[in-house]
Amino acid sequence: MRFLALFFAAAISLSVSGAQAQPADLKAVLEVHADQIERPKRLEVGAVVDDLIALGTPEVTEFLQRWQNRELHMREADGQFFYIGEGEPIPLIDVMSGEVVGTAEKSEIKQLRPNAGVRRVLGSALVQFQLSDPNILRRVAAVDSIARRPQADQLAPLLASIPDEPDAALKERKERLAGLLTARFGDTTEARVAAIEALSGELSLDVQAVMNQILATRDQVAVALPEDENIAEVYDVGTDLTEAEAYAQLVSAELASPLIPNDAIRNALAANIEGGFVGGVPVALLNTDAAREEAYATLAEAGTVPPLVTDADISSAVQSHVFYEVYTEPDIAVTDAANDALDEITTRVGVNQALDLTLDGLSLASIYFLAAIGLAITFGVMGVINMAHGEFIMMGAYTGYVVQLFIPDYTLSILVALPLAFAVTFGAGVAMERLVIRWLYHRPLETLLATFGISIALQQLAKNIFGTQARPLTSPGWLDGAWVMNDVVSISYIRIAIFILALIFLGLLLFILNKTRLGLEVRAVTQNPGMAASMGINPDRINMLTFGLGSGIAGIAGVAIGLYAKVTSEMGADYIVQSFMTVVVGGVGNVWGTLAGASLIGFLQKGIEWFNPANTLAAQTYMILFIILFIQFRPKGIVALKGRAAGD
């Protein structure tokens, strides 16, 4: 009896499998789907591909690949498919055995050219075979392709390919990708939760994307809260969303009749004017909302127009419903785990963003330091504000540009440009000091204006010589790219180079000012020119050299700034105000003061930008306001000179 039953069962199962009979080999599948293979359509070709994959034989991979690469041909006479070889007449290669089975003239066969959409479908089907391809490039391409468009059906082949993966790095990538796919598409809740928890230690963008996809929500509305939905949040009308928004949700869920907007009321009224009256109200009086509603109500009573939705209707409709947000993911354990993971990731990202911000601030501070230190030196020693300082920065940058015109090797040209820019701007600074500034030492405000005159003349001169368009100052290849710590923290090599340059100049200046004869004399003149002169120091010479030094550093700063920003005749003007701020905030006549000022301004600007990333203009506005207020409390800057050295 049992035996009989077993027999029957077997028979039934046989007959069932017979009814859905899968074609047994490649040729058979091709025969069934010949039409689709000859003229495939993107939306329909999936069925063919599924059947092919179901075969699971090695020649299927070969077939799909050749089909995708437009290497499949069809013999016009009998509709058989072949690959072709080289030669004349063309040898035909059998799709299953891979052996030459005949020849044909070119006119007898037709090349099959599936379109781009179909080839994409074929490509994604191929991925699972490529994952185990002996060629590592193909395997990498397959992993890339999955990472770009993750799909549920890729999980199983990906997992299957991991144990046999010979390349350690690729194996790691595959495992990571498998984790991402498991989190989204895993079979069991336990597997998914485990995968999500494993991912919570990461902070890369793709992990965040996966978490956000798991946590995708949609707004819903119902009379009572449903039991079987995975609810993310229940909205409180009035705090979480306004009554109008709530009603709009009701309308879009077709649970309430739509509001009639003012435009519609006006149009309805305009359409129903009868002899100067609408619903008994004279047209001339319809210039208030109240009168219009009254006329409209009359029309609605007559049934000409749909009735108005009143505020009371809205309130009652809203109050009789609950508004909530549900996860599209039904499994509550998964969403809980994803929420926890996302929280952890967010914290981690926050910490890293703070680190990134610090790096940004540091790099901005070093730029401001380089731009401002020259100004600070001249201001400190001579009490002179040099409005043409920005133009010295520009001059340095253009020197770099001109050097690159003559020396095509970027590394060499930068090495030449830095000292040359220093020499050029040093010369210009000394010339300016000799010709203009030394005549104005006792009139500081006039120095400010005279140097402004020089500034506009130099700017226009640069425009006349180099034109108005931006000129490139290309950095050497080894400065391209960025030092990437992870998806959040990265900093370009140029900025690191500028930071190092700023450090070098900080050290250099400290050395010159504190350890050399020149520095001693400069400090003496800064503190008391009269006394310094009576001690045998020549203040004229010191002033000239200081001015030259300050201008020369501006030239070097120009090369550095030109490397990451474009070189234009107006680039100096962009930095001059920030440089002033740096000097004023930091305090005059002290390298450390400039450093403090540059750091404060650099970090502050980045900090404000972080709070309001979309609006850099607002960031600059607030920063300037901050500085104006700061000056109220420390009029002489962070590092103020004390005693007689303070001047007044």
Partner 1 sequence: MERSFIMRNPSVLWFLLALALFTLGVTILSEAFGVGTLSTSFIKTLGKTLCLCLIAVAMDVVWGYCGILSLGHFAFFGLGGYAIGMWLMYARTEEIVVNSLNEAAIPPTQQEIIDGIGTQIFGVVGSSEFPMIWAFSHSLGLQLLMVILVPGLLALVFGWLAFRSRVTGVYLSILTQAMTLALALYLFQNDSGLRGNNGLSGLQNIPGLDHLGQATISMWFFWASAIALGAGYVLFAWVTSGKMGSVIRGIRDDESRVRFLGYHVESYKLFVFTLTAVVAGIAGALYYPQAGIINPAEIAPIASIYLAVWVAIGGRGRLYGAVIGAAFVSLLSSWFTGGGAPSIPLGFYTIQWTDWWLVLLGVSFVAVTLFFPKGIGGLFDYLVRKDP
Binding stretches for partner 1 (CB under 8 A): 262, 266, 269-270, 273, 278, 283-284, 286-289, 292, 379, 383, 385, 436, 439-440, 443-446, 448-450, 452-461, 463-464, 573, 577, 580-581, 584, 615, 617-618, 620-621, 624-625, 627-629, 631-633, 635, 648
CA 489 to the chain's CA centroid: 13
**Vertex 570 angle, CA 566 and 571, to 5°:** 45
Choose between 71 and 574: whose C-beta lies nearer to partner 1: 574
Q: At its nearest, how many Å lie between partner 1 and the CB of residue 278?
A: 8
Contacts of 355 (CB under 8 A, 6+ apart): 488, 489
Instruction: Give the list of residues 6+ apart from residue 411 with CB closer than 8 angstroms, or none.
Output: 476, 477, 478
Q: What is the DSSP string of 92-142?
A: EEETTT-SEEEEE-GGGEEE----HHHHHHHHHHHHHHHTT-SSHHHHHHH
Contact of 370 with 553, CB cutoff 8 Å: yes
508: left (phi over 0), alpha (psi -120 to 50) or beta: alpha
Structure tokens at 278: 């609408």
Q: Which is nearer to partner 1, 156 or 436 (CB)?
A: 436
User: Residue 244 CB, nearest distance to partner 1 (Å)?
Assistant: 16
Q: What is the DSSP secondary structure assignment for residue 538, as one 8-state letter?
A: -
The number of C-alpha atoms within 13 Å of 209 and in the hemisphere containing its C-beta is 11
Residue 155 vs 585, nearer CB to partner 1: 585
Cα 576 to Cα 447: distance, rounded to the nearest angstrom: 16
Cβ proximity of 506 and 595 under 8 Å: yes
Contact predicate 49/29, CB 8 Å: no
Instruction: Write down the least CB distance from residue 287 to partner 1, Å.
Output: 4
| Residues forming beta bridges with residue 103, ordered by sequence position | 91
**Cβ closest to partner 1, residue 15 vs residue 632:** 632
Of 394, 321, 401, 309, which Cα lies nearest the Cα of 579?
Answer: 394
Query: Quick one: which of 576, 575, 580 has its CA closest to 627?
Result: 580
Closest CA to 553 of 364, 395, 361: 395
Q: Which is nearer to partner 1, 137 or 617 (CB)?
A: 617
Terminal-to-terminal C-alpha distance of the chain: 118
Q: What Rg do the C-alpha atoms of the chain give, in angstroms?
A: 39
Q: How far is the CB of 546 from partner 1 (least distance, A)?
A: 17
Q: In the complex with partner 1, which residue's Cβ is closer, 126 or 458?
A: 458
Q: Output 230 or 620, the one with its CB closest to partner 1.
A: 620
Contact 33, 60 (CB under 8 A): no
Identify whether the C-beta of residue 341 lies closer than 8 Å to the C-beta of residue 196. yes
In the complex with partner 1, the residue whose CB is nearer, 269 or 506, is 269
Phi then psi for 143, rounded to 5 degrees? -65, -40
Phi, psi of 409 (to 5 degrees): -75, 115
